[in-house]
Amino acid sequence: MAADGRRGLGRGLSALLGESEGGRSDGDAGVREIPIELIKRNPDQPRTHFDEAELDELAASMRGRGVLQPILVRPWPEAPGYFQIVAGERRWRAAQKAGLRAVPALVRNLDDQETLEAALIENVQRTDLNPLEEAAAYRTLMDLAGRTQEIVAEAVGKSRSHVANSLRLLSLSPALQTMVMARALSAGHARALIGVPNAEDLARRIVVEGLSVREAEALVRRQAKAGHSRAASAPRSKDADTVALERDLSEALGLKVEIVDKDGAGEVRIRYGALEQLEDICRRLMKV
Catalytic machinery residues:
89
- The phi, psi pair for 152, rounded to 5°, reads -65, -45
Q: How many helices (H) and strands (E) does the chain have?
A: 14, 7
Beta bridge partners of 72: 87, 106
DSSP-derived letter for residue 18 is: S
Residues 98, 85, 44, 154, CA torsion sign: negative
Which residue from 198, 86, 89, 190 is spatially nearest to 131, judged by alpha carbons?
Answer: 190
Torsion 143-148-151-156 (CA) sign = positive
Q: In terms of C-beta density within 10 A (0-12 exposed, 13-18 middle, 19 or more buried), how is residue 192 classed?
A: buried
Strand partners, 208: none
Look up residue 214 and give its amino acid: R
Q: Say how many C-beta atoms besides its own lie within 10 A of residue 110's C-beta.
A: 21
Residue 24, beta-bridge partner list? none
> What does the alpha-carbon distance between residue 57 and residue 177 come to, in Å, rounded to a whole number?
28
What 8-state DSSP symbol labels residue 25? B
CA of residue 253 relative to chain centroid, distance:
61
